[in-house]
Amino acid sequence: MDHFKTIYSSQASEYHRMIAVEDVDGNLVTSLSQIADWSDALVLDLGSGTGRFPLMFKDFQTRFICLDLFLAMLLENRLQRDKADGKWPLVQGDMRTLPFPTGVFDIAIAGWSIGHLRAWYTDSWRMQIGLILKEMERAVKPEGMIIICETLSTGSLVPQPPTPELVEYFEWLEEKHNFSMEIIPTDYKFDTVEQAVEYTEFFFGSELSDQIRKKRWARLPEWTGIWYKTVRML
């Protein structure tokens, strides 16, 4: 099984433990709030994982509906939702065939999820990701917002797509689908270097762990790209 599919299927709690200390400076909320109005918005969170976005926007009165392919991630999402006294519905499903009516959401967001299809569907990724984009456009209201967050590297002092395949995907979003893009730092902050290794090695592998030890990184540098566009009325 693919490395990330294995994690999302069986290591959801470890995944949430890691991302809970990500974006130490709160740059995601700041940037996303400049891109769209989240106050009382109805948001479709695709590839919601363990609930990163609804937890992040819990003080905005944002109404989320969260979808994920992996049951283990949804179970952890439910656990975190209950700890936060949240109420967002959880749906298991595929981003390519959304079980929602047309034109009901103010925002559709997909965080660190669509990019996996670039690796999972080597020959047909444009078609597969294109299905997701069409479904996102269908689900949002006219003048609604589509947002995609993806990695621009973890453990690098400069932002850069970690693979040539992601370079191609990101360029395709901008050139073929007219997304705008901005880059923000989303560093992790751990208590110790040892904790940084413990929390991240299962996900990023031993090469990054060696780098963390060598550079004594309790604060692990990371960059995130945010692609976004408004769905215009025809």
User: Per residue in 28-73, pLDDT tens?
Assistant: 999 999 999 999 999 999 999 999 999 999 999 999 999 999 999 9
CA pair distance 193, 189, nearest whole angstrom = 10
- State how far the alpha carbon of 104 is from the alpha carbons of 49, 143, 145, in Å: 22, 11, 12
pTM score, two decimals? Answer: 0.97
Question: How does residue 234 score in pLDDT terms, banded at 50, 70 and 90?
Answer: low
Q: Which of 221, 192, 191 is nearest to 204 (CA)?
A: 221
Coil, helix or strand at residue 206: helix
CATH of 3-230, one of 3.40.50.1100, 3.40.50.150, 3.40.220.10, 3.40.50.300: 3.40.50.150
User: Per residue in 149-192, pLDDT tens?
Assistant: 999 999 999 999 999 999 999 999 999 999 999 999 999 999 99
Sign of CA dihedral 30, 152, 19, 209: negative
